[in-house]
Amino acid sequence: MDSVNWGLIMPLLILQALLAIIGLISLAKVEHTRGPKWLWLIILIFGNLLGSIVYFTVGRKDI
């Protein structure tokens, strides 16, 4: 894996983290989600890109 330029992959990881952080902020602010809140917390932290998309599209009631 020496040939992989991590400088190019880092922005991808940062953006995914940013998406999860936006999701976590919205989860902290919102009163009710579809389904239990703790489940969305786990999905946002461990779900990567798809987890965040599913949270924003399905989890939020006021999408």
The answer to whether 45 contacts another protein (rule: CB under 8 A) is no
Near another protein by CB under 8 A: residue from 24, 26, 41, 47 = 26
Nearest C-alpha neighbor of 26 from the set 58, 55, 46, 48: 55
Tokens of 33: 């989600």
- Are 42 and 36 a contacting pair, CB within 8 Å? no
**Contact status: 44 vs another protein (CB under 8 A):** no
Instruction: Kindly state whether residue 59 participates in binding another protein, applying the rule CB under 8 A.
Output: no
Chain residues binding another protein by CB under 8 A are: 1, 3-4, 8-9, 11-12, 15-16, 18-19, 22-23, 26, 49, 52-53, 56-57, 60, 62-63
